[in-house]
Amino acid sequence: MSQAHRVLLVEDDQADAYITQKVFRDIATDIALSHTETGESALEWLVSHQEKDTLPELILLDLNMPKMDGFTFLEKSKGHEKLRSIPVVVLTTSASQGDVDRAYALGAAGYVVKPTSIDDFTHYMQQLISYWFSLVKRPH
């Protein structure tokens, strides 16, 4: 049996986190999904896992969070030598072109606007998983 792919969800909204976790359990049994609620706690989690060879292969990041928003998280994580190569996909409700542009300028690997339908969200997550873990060659 192959080792599960590791994904970190950075999401402060409990309902959105629950739905994402449920969708991942339902469609991706080979994904180990960890969750933190703020950019600040995500950075702490990542730094604590950097030496254990258990860093995530993908980060799903909300933008609007307390303490440290997603933009600040992007800036700090992309400035960290051991974290910068982890792809970060913004997963947010904001469809603002300014937010899209800023996220990519700060190093986001993708930007997904959360759909309102659970069926659409499930489809989006299936596509995202297929893309990142079947098609894309990632750095070590």
> Percent of the chain scored above 70 by pLDDT?
96
- What's the pLDDT tens digit per position in 41-71? 999 999 998 876 789 999 999 999 988 999 9
Question: What does each C-alpha distance from 54 to 24, 49, 120, 133 come to in angstroms?
Answer: 19, 6, 30, 16
Give the lowest-confidence range in 2-6, 9-13, 99-103, 104-108: 2-6
Average pLDDT over residues 23-45: 92
How high is the pLDDT of residue 52? 67
How high is the pLDDT of residue 2? 57
Fold classification of 5-135 is Rossmann fold (3.40.50)
Helix, strand, coil tally for the chain in percent (to 5): 45, 20, 40
Domains of the chain, by residue range, sit at 5-135
The answer, yes or no, to whether residue 1 has pLDDT greater than 60, is no
3 state SS of 129: helix
Which residue type sits at 123?
A: H
The set of residues, in sequence order, having a beta carbon less than 8 Å from that of 48 and lying 6+ positions away, is none
